[in-house]
Structure 1
Amino acid sequence: MAMQEVTEQQWLQREAAAKEKEAVFFFTPLCGTCKIGLRMLEIAEAAGASVPVSLININYAPVLREKWRVASVPCLVLVEGGEPVQREYAMQSVDTLYQLLK
């Protein structure tokens, strides 16, 4: 799993060809809970989670926010075949995130 910040436009271009399981972590720069969630994702990544995670600033992602009905941040959206299959708003624990992303 390699976390990478992308723009909404970059994600939308990639989304059309997406076949594998991926995740998108929506955040805002001033959100303290988002920073904690990001740190938890980094630890899950270091533990060997394999699903790639893209980071998107929700302030600049109106299309995805509306299309995927993202209600608040932080939000981790699991995506399969370009479609959201699960949303996690509460980053409960590193283990929970690891299980989602393995």
Structure 2
Amino acid sequence: MKEVNVRETLPEVGRGYVFIYSPFCGTCHLAREMLDIIEKMREEDVFYEMNASLFPDFMQEKQVSSVPCLLVWKDGKVEEKVYAFESVTKIFNLMKEKEKI
């Protein structure tokens, strides 16, 4: 995963996925493991990651209500927010749908 700098990185992302987490969140650690599996399957870094504690203004601006959260990012805007990391398959299928891969 690639670390996010909100002001510099995100505006450059055409289509992307931003994993928002807290280092003290157990569910976030499980969600990260799911995303790591997808990155291993695709053999590349797919996700950006953001520690929610470091960017409270961004969290409020984008109305992120809890962590873990996966922002589906397109052309400088949040297209979708995923809060339920139910399975690797569900997240992978969401990505397939968005990317038409």
Q: TM-score, normalised by structure 2?
A: 0.84
Structure 2 residue runs without a partner (length 5+): 97-101
- Find out whether 1:12 has 2:11 as its counterpart: no
Q: Percent identity?
A: 30
Q: How does 1:1-102 map to 2 (within 5 A)?
A: 3-6=1-4, 10-18=5-13, 20-48=14-42, 52-102=46-96
Going from structure 1 to structure 2, the CA distance change for 1:87 and 1:51 (only over 3 Å counts) comes to: farther
Deviation at 1:11, TM superposition (A): 2.4
* Higher RCO by CA contacts (8 Å cutoff, separation 6 or greater): 1
Moved over 3 A (4+): none
Q: How many residues align?
A: 96
Going from structure 1 to structure 2, the CA distance change for 1:50 and 1:78 (only over 3 Å counts) comes to: farther
Which whole-Å CA distance do the structure 2 matches of 1:46 and 1:53 have between them? 12
Q: Identify the residue that residue 99 of structure 2 maps to in structure 1.
A: none
Structure 1 residue runs without a partner (length 5+): none
Partners of 2:21 and 2:28 within 8 A in 1: yes
